Amino acid sequence: MQKAIYADKFFFEHEVSGPGYLVLTDGTFDGFYETLPTSHFDVIDYTGKWIAPGLVDTHVHGLLGHDVMDNDVHGLEKISEGLLACGVTSFLPTTLTASIESLNEVVKTIGSCYQNVSGAKIQGIFLEGPFFAEAYKGAQNSAYFSDPSIEALQKWQELSRGLIKKVAVAPELQGANEFIKYATESGVSVALAHSGATYKEAKAAADHGASMFVHTFNGMTPLHHREPGMVGAAMSLNGVYNELICDGYHVHPQVVKLLIRATDVDRTVLISDSMRAGLMPEGTYELGEFPVTVKGKTACLENGSLAGSVLLLKDAVKNLVDWEIATPFEAIRMASLVPAKSLAMDHMCGKIASGHDADFIVLDRHLGLLATYVNGEKKYERPPNKKKIMV
pLDDT at site 1: 66
Considering the four listed CATH numbers 1.20.1290.10, 3.10.129.10, 3.20.20.140, 3.40.50.620, the one that applies to the domain covering 55-342 is 3.20.20.140
The pTM (predicted TM-score) of the whole model is: 0.96
Phi/psi for 276 (5° steps) reads -60, -15
Q: What is the 8-class DSSP label of residue 243?
A: E
- The answer to whether 216 and 270 are in contact (CB under 8 A) is no
pLDDT at site 38: 76
Query: End-to-end distance of the chain based on CA atoms, in angstroms?
Result: 48
- Nearest CA to 94 among 271, 223, 239? 271
Considering the four listed CATH numbers 3.90.1300.10, 3.40.710.10, 2.30.40.10, 2.60.120.10, the one that applies to the domain covering 2-52+353-381 is 2.30.40.10
Catalytic residues: 273
Domain boundaries, the chain: 2-52+353-381, 55-342
**H-run or E-run covering 386:** none
Would you give per-residue pLDDT tens digits along the chain (391 residues)? Answer: 689 999 999 999 999 999 999 999 999 999 999 998 877 889 999 999 999 999 999 999 999 999 999 999 999 999 999 999 999 999 999 999 999 999 999 999 999 999 999 999 999 999 999 999 998 998 999 999 999 999 999 999 999 999 999 999 999 999 999 999 999 999 999 999 999 999 999 999 999 999 999 999 999 999 999 999 999 999 999 999 999 999 999 999 999 999 999 999 999 999 999 999 999 999 999 998 899 999 989 999 988 899 999 999 999 999 999 999 999 999 999 999 999 999 999 999 999 999 999 999 999 999 999 999 999 999 999 998 755 444 3
What is the β-pairing status of strands 290-295 and 268-270?
unpaired
Write the CB contacts of 384 (distance below 8 Å, at least 6 apart in sequence).
none
- Nearest CA to 79 among 94, 97, 96? 94
Gap between the Cα atoms of 148 and 169, Å rounded: 7
Show the DSSP H helices in the chain as ranges: 73-83, 100-113, 150-159, 176-185, 199-207, 229-236, 253-262, 313-322, 328-334, 337-342
Gap between the Cα atoms of 44 and 70, Å rounded: 39
- The answer to whether 287 and 275 are in contact (CB under 8 A) is yes
